[in-house]
């Protein structure tokens, strides 16, 4: 199997006045193409910072990241954006849907930005897959939290990403709604053959992935394979 993400000796430090806070310290790990991978750890352990660095949303102070065969350290901001648009999908805790667009428009936007003509048709197919075919003309404010996250799921998969980063995807949902969203996430992921990286505080969710990376105070506490139960 080929490596889709290769992180080597990654470091990130923030300055506040004369003080320096090391958020990540010499982080190294690899993810194989098609794997499911969880990053866990207590609040403040560096999980979300690590996710942002791996996705090229921020720059590390030290170390290197190879994403989809490309060393992102050497890319400009515009080049990283192009790589993300082509290879990466995102799911966020707070959904991040565009409030002035309908569910259908939110899902189709990534394809329309690429000039793909049947974007709306493809978006509608995905909305049906996540059970929202009858809510396609609704705006985010007219949808429940669970429905908004399902729209976000459809949007994340519309580009057929090579790798999908999910940051606390059930963090704003109740247990029952969160479970439905996670089931959909794993089903869509399996069907698409996407590599899935989840940042979560939910250990039960983490155990449903193939690998768990545990962070503690910015360092790797453990990196282990697990039994896939999904």
Domain boundaries, the chain: 34-59+77-225
DSSP3 helix / strand / coil % (the chain, rounded to 5): 35, 30, 35
Query: How would residue 227 be classed by pLDDT, with cut points 50, 70 and 90?
Result: low
Model confidence at 194: pLDDT above 50: yes
Model confidence at 136: pLDDT above 60: yes
Order the strands of the 36-40 sheet from edge to edge. Answer: 88-91, 163-167, 195-199, 36-40, 211-216, 219-225
d(CA 40, CA 198) in angstroms, rounded, equals 8
Percent of the chain at pLDDT above 90?
A: 67
d(CA 147, CA 127) in angstroms, rounded, equals 10
Question: Are 170 and 178 spatial neighbours (Cβ–Cβ below 8 Å)?
Answer: yes
pTM of the model: 0.90
| The CATH classification of domain 34-59+77-225, taken from the options 3.40.50.2000, 1.10.1240.10, 3.30.70.920, 3.40.50.300 | 3.40.50.300
Question: Are 91 and 79 spatial neighbours (Cβ–Cβ below 8 Å)?
Answer: no
DSSP class of residue 229 equals -
Angle between helix 145-157 and helix 119-129 axes, rounded to 10 deg: 130
Q: What is the mean pLDDT of residues 216-229?
A: 80
Query: How would residue 32 be classed by pLDDT, with cut points 50, 70 and 90?
Result: very high
Model confidence at 79: pLDDT above 60: yes
Per residue in 110-135, pLDDT tens?
888 888 889 999 999 999 999 999 99
Per residue in 151-192, pLDDT tens?
999 999 998 999 999 999 988 888 899 999 999 999 999 999
């Amino acid at each position: 199997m080929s490596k889709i993400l290769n992180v080597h000796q990654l470091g990130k430090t923030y300055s506040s006045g004369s003080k320096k806070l090391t958020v990540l310290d010499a982080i190294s790990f690899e993810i194989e193409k098609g794997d499911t991978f969880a990053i866990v750890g207590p609040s403040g352990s560096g999980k979300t910072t690590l996710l942002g660095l791996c996705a090229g949303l921020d720059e590390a102070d030290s170390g290197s990241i190879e994403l989809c065969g490309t060393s992102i350290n050497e890319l400009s901001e515009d080049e990283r954006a192009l790589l993300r648009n082509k290879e990466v999908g995102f799911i966020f805790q707070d959904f991040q849907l565009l409030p002035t667009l309908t569910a259908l428009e939110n899902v189709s936007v990534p394809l329309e930005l690429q000039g793909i003509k049947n974007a709306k048709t493809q978006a509608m197919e995905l909305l049906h897959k996540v059970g929202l075919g009858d809510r396609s003309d609704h705006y985010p404010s007219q949808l429940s939290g669970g429905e908004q996250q399902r729209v976000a799921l459809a949007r994340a998969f519309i580009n057929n990403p090579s790798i999908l980063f999910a940051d606390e995807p059930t963090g704003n949902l109740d247990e029952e709604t969160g479970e439905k969203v996670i089931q959909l996430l794993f089903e869509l992921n399996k069907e698409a053959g996407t590599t899935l990286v989840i940042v979560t505080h939910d250990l039960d969710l983490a155990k449903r992935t193939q690998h768990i990376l545990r962070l503690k105070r910015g360092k790797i506490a453990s990196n282990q394979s697990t039994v896939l139960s999904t």
